[in-house]
Amino acid sequence: MAENNNSAIEFRNVAMSYDERVILEDVSFVVNPGETKIVMGGSGTGKSTILKLVLGLIKPDSGRIFVDGEDVTGHSEKDMVEVRRKLGMVFQDGALFDSLTVYENVGYRLFERGLPEPEIEENVCRMLQFVNLENVMYMMPSELSGGMRRRVGIARALVGNPKLVLFDEPTAGLDPPTARTILELAIKLRDLEGVSSIFVTHRMDDVKQLSSKFATIGDSGEVEFRSEDGNMCLVNTRFIMLRKGKVIFSGTDEELWQSSDPYIKDFLRKS
Amino acid sequence: MAGRAFMRALSKPYYVRETMIQMDSIGVGSLVIIILTGGFTGGILALQTSDTLKTFGATGVTGTLVMTSLVREMGPVLASLMIAGRVGSAIAAELGSMVVSEQVDAMRALGTDPIKKLVWPRLFALMIMTPALTLVADIVGAIGGWIVASSLMNVASSVYISSAKDALTYNDIIGGLIKPLVFGFIIAIVSCRAGLRTSGGTVGVGRSTTQAVVLSDILILAADFFLGKIILAFS
């Protein structure tokens, strides 16, 4: 029977395996509205599987998944279409459609809904401005750099103003300035747009920036990024760490740095 | 997959533009190889049959044998095998690449049903264009046979043309178009399935492409045997 709650995303005792291999085991966590949940862990620990489960691209073997308060565990592909309208997904390498221009990629969701061209163009321009890529609108994905493709992927995910955004290692393999640009986009979404998100990463630089920087509108009306000082703590960013498909940590960044778990200490030291 | 494709095709959106693009790519794109296949097949049929018939002094029925062989068997089967090689491999490679680069996941995440968007236009296009291309192969083959028979085998043009016209029955023509319809269906389903089930990165794309062509070819030949039997039973 369907059950509703007030969370943005909730996993309740979710388990998942491929063939004989256990991917996730008894995973439970909650993402509250407006919160960014950073999912950390080494390769193959099931981080990306969590995002695919939220989107309903794969189904869990057991447990329950809630999106925007709605139990989506047993949803059919047709039912998931409505749920996916509330979600934006940023894939690891952008996953842009090769045969479409940047404009068609970003506006894809709107073209599919049959919106009039001027409305699509306005939305696409706004989103490309948000990611600072207005000048690549009519280029093909193959003409873009890796960082630009990720930013176009972010713009595509944000069209239609989703309430929840899922990031699958969006900074992996990027140079530090480009990675910082992408992190600032995630911070802007969190602090200025109130978007809830799951941010999958294994880069400590991502963790430090997302947990210490915040975005605000300055006196001049421009977006400013500031660092939290000793007197304040970002309450809208929390962490979980996965190991062998199990959640071994859930809490704030302060709790993460103070953890006595040998695996976590080793992970933080080496990353 | 075929069942799901047909059920979902009945609901909106219909992806008419994608279907037209596929029809153009499959139909117009395959025209050259189909003309070459048909022309040379007709030519070799005329060459071999008239050479054998000469022994019996019956070169006058060369047109009959060329047309019957072309319309009943060689046209549909060879055209479909060529389409499986050219189009089936391209479909499997394209969809396979989309799967490994997460484009199909992205499509689903953006609320699009990949079966409707990717499978249905290809299925529809192949089921329309394979019979159309077979018709082209048959016509070009008949012309190729006529050129070879009249220029190399000394068969009078009028004799070839009249025997070719007399050879064909409605059953031959209808049977010759039902077969490529089924073959187009086979190519689409096998290739889309191979592409969408790709795993293992770029190596997997290569594997899917090979699988699509080999399986399509085998199924076309097997289906041809059973369809031939059924059509003959109704003749």
Please report whether residue B163 resides in a domain.
yes
Please report whether residue B10 resides in a domain.
no
Q: Is the pLDDT of residue A37 over 90?
A: yes
pLDDT score at A73: 92
Distance from CA of B103 to the nearest CA of A (A): 5
What is the topology classification, in CATH, of domain A1-86+183-271?
Rossmann fold (3.40.50)
Pair B80, B187: CB distance under 8 Å: yes
pLDDT band at A106 (very low <50, low <70, confident <90, very high): very high
Would an 8 Å CB–CB cutoff place B110 in contact with chain A?
Answer: yes
| Domain count for chain B | 1
Q: Is the pLDDT of residue B223 over 60?
A: yes
Would an 8 Å CB–CB cutoff place B10 in contact with chain A?
Answer: no
Please report whether residue B118 resides in a domain.
yes
Q: Is the pLDDT of residue B179 over 90?
A: yes
Distance from CA of B182 to the nearest CA of A (A): 29
Q: Which of B122, B157, B128 is nearest to B143 (CA)?
A: B157
**B106 to A52: CB separation less than 8 angstroms, yes or no:** no
Tell me the β-bridge partners of A240: A39, A250
Please report whether residue B41 resides in a domain.
yes
The ipTM is: 0.83
Nearest to A95 among B13, B105, B113 (CB): B105
**A156 to B110: CB separation less than 8 angstroms, yes or no:** yes
Please report whether residue B1 resides in a domain.
no
Tokens of B34: 């189909």
In chain A, the residue whose alpha carbon lies closest to the alpha carbon of B115 is A77
Most confident of A165-179, A223-237, B66-80: B66-80
Largest CA distance in chain B: 70
Pair B201, B96: CB distance under 8 Å: no
Please report whether residue B11 resides in a domain.
no
Q: Mean of the pLDDT values across residues A111-139?
A: 90
Integer Cα distance of A192 and A178 in angstroms: 21
Please report whether residue B68 resides in a domain.
yes
A228-241 pLDDT, tens digit per residue, is 765 555 678 899 99
pLDDT score at A97: 94
Would an 8 Å CB–CB cutoff place A86 in contact with chain B?
Answer: no
**Side-chain half-sphere of B36: how many Cα atoms within 13 Å?**
6
Distances in Å between the Cα of B70 and the Cα atoms of A22, A202, B6, B45, B143 are 57, 63, 32, 8, 11
In chain B, the residue whose alpha carbon lies closest to the alpha carbon of A109 is B110
Pair A120, A105: CB distance under 8 Å: no
Chain B residues in contact with A156 by the CB 8 A cut-off are 110
Residues 174-213 of A with CB under 8 A from B: none
Give the domain extent around B52: 16-228
Domain ranges in chain A?
A: 1-86+183-271, 93-161
In chain A, the residue whose alpha carbon lies closest to the alpha carbon of B11 is A78
Integer Cα distance of A16 and A22 in angstroms: 6
B191-212 pLDDT, tens digit per residue, is 999 999 999 888 999 999 999 9
